[in-house]
Amino acid sequence: MVLALALGLVGCATARASIHSKDAIVVGVKADQPGLGHRTNGVFRGFEVDVGSYIARHLGASRVTFREVRSDNREDKLNSRAVDLVLASYSITPDRAKLVSFAGPYYVAHQDVMVRRGETRIRGVRDLAGRKMCQASGSVSTERVVVGLGIPTRLVPGSSYSDCVAKLRAGAVDAVSTGDLVLAGFAAQDLRIVNAPFTDERYGVAMRKGDVDGCEAVNRALTTMYQDGTAGRLLHKWFGKSGLKLVQEVPQFEGCS
């Protein structure tokens, strides 16, 4: 009887810990990535902000708020319970999956390269050899270029992708490389994406490790989001003018564990 009671209490604690059972949800998003997550006059706007709101409503939350996260503190914000979910161009990787649980992906982006408009020497990732490329703190994108593909770039550290873009505009680096949705938000008259994608970036919805119920509930919400046309509308709203080929089918999900 004691063992049964103990197991029952553990089960209740697990249920209470699930994001699926929360009435108020805090979503961690970027504050400096136009198109995905950007804060203007104290208000967060972007594709990931809208997707976070959609998920929270489908989880049954009556209140959703947003809080800034960076690439180098996403795990810390989750595990310290400062946020409940993270949607912040958070690519699913085996190492990250040891620290948090991922639902989704909610979108499969493709890593590409952005340069200053008028730059003709860089036409693809191989042309980054010997060039200065910005390395955003906490991101794995530059590792895919330097380690994964073995391209000897000259890395210049940046605190974030907005910092990297500022360095690109200032001429301190020759290129910025990451997922095309991130780049699309920054692309403007003076910058362009070379449109030579070379990897996939599976953007996941992160939550505290082991929340299987919450993960499965988020996957159900994402499936509905694609099936009811919301995903397509949001992608067109935020990236329709970018020229990117936007995928509007439900991505293949990772298993919840």
Closest listed residue to residue 83, CA positions, set 110, 44, 109, 47: 44
The mean per-residue pLDDT over the stretch 234-239 comes to 94
Q: What count of other Cβ atoms lies within 10 Å of the Cβ of residue 184?
A: 23
Whether residue 3 is predicted with pLDDT greater than 70 in this model: the reply is: no
Residue 5 in this model has a pLDDT that exceeds 90: no
As a dihedral over the C-alpha atoms of residue 142, residue 147, residue 150, residue 153, rounded to 10 degrees, the angle is: 40
Amino acid found at 256: C
Higher confidence at residue 237 or residue 255? 237
Cβ proximity of 145 and 122 under 8 Å? no
Q: Model confidence over 198-218: pLDDT tens digits?
A: 998 899 999 999 999 999 999
Torsion angle in degrees (nearest 10) through CA of 5, 79, 61, 22: 20
Query: Which of 207, 202, 203, 201 has its CA nearest to residue 256?
Result: 207
Q: Is 6 exposed, middle or buried (0-12, 13-18, 19+ CB in 10 A)?
A: exposed
- HSE on the CB side for 176, CA within 13 Å? 35
The residue-averaged pLDDT of 24-39 equals 96
Instruction: Please name each of the domains of the chain with its CATH number.
Output: 18-108+202-239 (3.40.190.10), 110-199 (3.40.190.10)
Structure tokens at 115: 């340069």
d(CA 45, CA 29): 10
pTM score, two decimals? Answer: 0.85
Does residue 182 surpass a pLDDT of 80?
A: yes
Greater confidence (21 vs 246) lies with 246
pLDDT score, position 4: 44
pLDDT at residue 187, as a whole number: 83
CA-wise closest residue to 184 among 142, 242, 234, 136: 242
Question: Going by C-beta distance under 8 Å and a sequence separation of 6 or more, which residues neighbour residue 42?
Answer: none
State the pLDDT at residue 6: 43
Give the whole-angstrom CA distance, residue 69 versus residue 250. 26
Percentage above 70 pLDDT, the chain: 93
The mean predicted confidence, pLDDT, of the chain is: 91
pLDDT confidence band for 157 (50 / 70 / 90): very high
Question: Is pLDDT above 90 for 17?
Answer: no
In angstroms, the Cα distances linking 230 to 59, 173, 189, 227, 241 are 16, 37, 29, 8, 18
**Using CA atoms, how far apart are residues 195 and 243, in angstroms rounded to an integer?**
9
Amino acid at 249: E
What are the pLDDT digits (tens) for 49-102? 999 999 999 999 999 999 999 988 999 999 999 999 999 999 999 999 999 999
pLDDT of residue 18: 84
Taking CA atoms, 150 is separated from 125, 153, 176, in Å, by 11, 9, 17
Give the pLDDT score at 122.
Answer: 97
Q: How far apart are CA 126 and CA 129, in angstroms?
A: 6
pLDDT of residue 257: 77
For residue range 102-146, list pLDDT tens digits in order: 999 999 999 999 999 999 999 999 999 999 999 999 888 999 999
Q: What confidence category does residue 1 fall into, taking pLDDT thresholds of 50, 70 and 90?
A: very low
